[in-house]
Amino acid sequence: MGLTLTEKILSAHLVSGEMIKGSEIGIKIDQTLTQDATGTMAYLEFEAMGVPRVKTEKSVAYIDHNTLQSGFENADDHRFIGSVCKKHGIFYSRAGNGICHQVHLERFGKPGKTLIGSDSHTPTGGGIGMIAIGAGGMDVAVAMGGGTYYITCPKVVKINLTGKLSPWVSAKDVIFEVLKRLSVKGGVGKVMEYTGEGVKTLSVPERATITNMGAELGATTSIFPSDEITREFLRAQDREQDYVPLCADSDAVYDEEVEINLSELVPLAACPHSPDNVKSVDELGKMKIDQVLIGSCTNSSLLDMLKVAHILKGKTVNPDVSLAIAPGSKQVLNMLAENGALGIMIAAGARILESACGPCIGMGQSPNSAGISLRTFNRNFEGRSGTKDAKIYLVSPETAAISAINGYLTNPCDMGDMPEFVLPDKFLINDNMVVAPIDEKDMESVEILRGPNIKPFPVSEPMKAEITAGVSLKVGDNITTDHIMPAGAKILPLRSNIPKISEHCFEVCDSTFPARAKEMGKSVIVGGANYGQGSSREHAALAPLYLGVKMVLTKSFARIHMANLINAGIIPAIFKNEADYDRIEEGDVLEIKGVTDSIENADTVEIKNVTKGFAFEAQINLSERQRKMLLAGGLLNYTKNNA
Ligand code: MIC
Ligand code: SF4
């Protein structure tokens, strides 16, 4: 029986477990990446492990999220991360060099390698045939120290591409189509593997747009084969030596199959407030818009920007619209400056932003009240833009650019013929903003520079035999980590300070939660299905931990968040009977006896609702290792116990 590409790479990196779908496997990690909003915590955790030099083939720290610097906090974090890099053998991509996923694809990713990153869009690397997975900071810290990374051995979904995209239809529309069909929880426990004749019609940046936004499916990752197009891309990046041809066996067996005929796709948009709320641009009609933002790790490649410049050429941004553009990397921005495309954008009236995440994570450019904003980004969760009542529509760069000119949502296909956009034979290569690791002998004397906002992270205690705790919060389905631990310009600077940031925990749902949870001392959060979808931020587990949350009880969890809860020592429990969700209210007192026994030996725990006077069961379907971790009080205690 032939193997899928996913199975080939995973089994080549397997260090524990067996390749049995649904069981836990441990894999060796070749590369890691961090960004600054999750990086400070990840490096504090790495320091706590006491490993002098990273043991990966390559670890890179990017500064791209917290670049607004409205106070000293972010700059202090950058300085801290820079000094950790110097001391521990990590490449340091300075602020201004670009968004982690874009730069990693350009300069560091390698087909066939494994990469984990403390950012959920790490699967961008699947665009060049990597197994690239988003993870919590603590998992990345362990991998940097040479430790194994654990995942559930995924099912593999074949996404068979046929045909060819019509002019002005974009890679973004491909992933919208997948999201429309599978939903934001359709990918949990699965890898999306793209194959078929249509693959060779897509360039590397287009493939990367698709794998990047596969994160929105909840998938473990997404991957394309590494083929001649990958070779061309790497050659143009002066990295042909990193190329290896990789694909699935012709008789590979997949768990599920999805057919997409690229020729049949039309421009699509994800409507508020979820990336899977997909409609066609035509269906939405000529909606008047207030803002257009082009950029983010999904759509900020040179190819995207060249298309945008072509559309803007000789035009002026509509007087009722604000258009801002953030090229994804210094390489992209520099090339746009050299080939004249940047001049075209400026002349049209675009507001050029630095190469960073910026408005994608609410760092500036919040829309006006009830504003309608078209964005080429990957997430449109409520409030993420910084304006609670804004309506965010996710669209392709082509749709965004033409709409910015017209002032209303426009189908780019109305533009008629499309010129051929080709990637250059050679990208502009200048890695001067990446600080390489220093000589091993000089590393020890490096001083770590800590700012006053950098506080120690909370560590859980070993699990107690009995938990009696009140329900401090009850929420519904599809709660994102942007609900649990919001980002944005005001809160992101607190990422290194868990006591402070926890005051904003669940602010979007119920601003009284932090005080209540603290007052209760110990508490349980009750949630619906797909709890914790979205980002990899472990702050969404560390802040609840700090506030005394002992268990999160839901209908189901998103992958990264569930791992982060276990790493933090919080029990992720799932209602055995979903109807019990309706029988619990905020304020109810829950009693769980024999917690340690159940975690050690059973797949369920019995929970008594003392207030309402009934008992019910919750599942704790965990691996041996996860059970031990919970008993020890989280990954750090567990690692120390085992050292
Ligand atoms: C996001 O897009 O939500 C982020 C900000 O990049 C997060 C990471 C974070 O919260 O720092 C992610 O995707 O993991
Ligand atoms: Fe940055 Fe946005 Fe990409 Fe997250 S999704 S890494 S915030 S650009």
536 CA from centroid of ligand 1 (Å): 6
Tens of pLDDT, residues 294-338: 999 999 999 999 999 999 999 999 999 999 999 999 999 999 999
Mean pLDDT over residues 134-158, rounded? Answer: 98
pLDDT value, residue 643: 72
Whole-number Å distance between alpha carbons of 99 and 553: 35
Helix (H, G, I), strand (E, B), or coil: what is residue 519?
A: helix
321 CA from centroid of ligand 2 (Å): 23
Using the predicted structure, report yes or no on whether residue 182 has a pLDDT greater than 90.
yes
* Contact yes or no for 297/101 (Cβ under 8 A): yes
Question: Minimum mean pLDDT among 33-42, 119-128, 452-461: which range?
Answer: 452-461
Tens of pLDDT, residues 389-404: 999 999 999 999 999 9
Name the strand (E) or helix (H) holding 521: none
pLDDT value, residue 1: 85
From the CA of 300, give the closest atom in ligand 2: 8
pLDDT value, residue 36: 98
Q: Is the CB of 357 under 6 A from ligand 2?
A: yes
Protein residues whose CB sits closer than 6 Å to any atom of ligand 1: 37-38, 65, 119-121, 134, 361, 379, 487, 534-537
Cα separations in angstroms, 207 against 18, 132, 169, 599: 30, 14, 14, 42
From the CA of 38, give the closest atom in ligand 1: 11
Using the predicted structure, report yes or no on whether residue 364 has a pLDDT greater than 80.
yes
Task: Decide: pTM greater than 0.75.
Answer: yes
pLDDT value, residue 14: 98
Average predicted confidence (pLDDT) for the chain: 97
pLDDT value, residue 174: 99
Q: How confident is the model at residue 258 (pLDDT cuts 50, 70, 90)?
A: very high
Whole-number Å distance between alpha carbons of 357 and 212: 14
pLDDT value, residue 641: 86
Q: Is the CB of 296 under 6 A from ligand 2?
A: yes
From the CA of 535, give the closest atom in ligand 2: 4
Exposed (0-12), middle (13-18) or buried (19+): which is 29, by Cβ within 10 Å?
buried
Backbone CA torsion sign across 108, 109, 113, 117: positive
Nearest CA to ligand 2 atom 1: 357
From the CA of 295, give the closest atom in ligand 2: 8
From the CA of 35, give the closest atom in ligand 2: 6
Whole-number Å distance between alpha carbons of 420 and 442: 51
363 CA from centroid of ligand 2 (Å): 11
pLDDT value, residue 640: 84
* Contact yes or no for 25/153 (Cβ under 8 A): yes
Q: Is the CB of 361 under 6 A from ligand 2?
A: yes
End-to-end CA distance of the chain: 40
75 CA from centroid of ligand 2 (Å): 19
Nearest CA to ligand 1 atom 1: 535
Whole-number Å distance between alpha carbons of 385 and 399: 20
Using the predicted structure, report yes or no on whether residue 231 has a pLDDT greater than 80.
yes
Q: How confident is the model at residue 415 (pLDDT cuts 50, 70, 90)?
A: very high
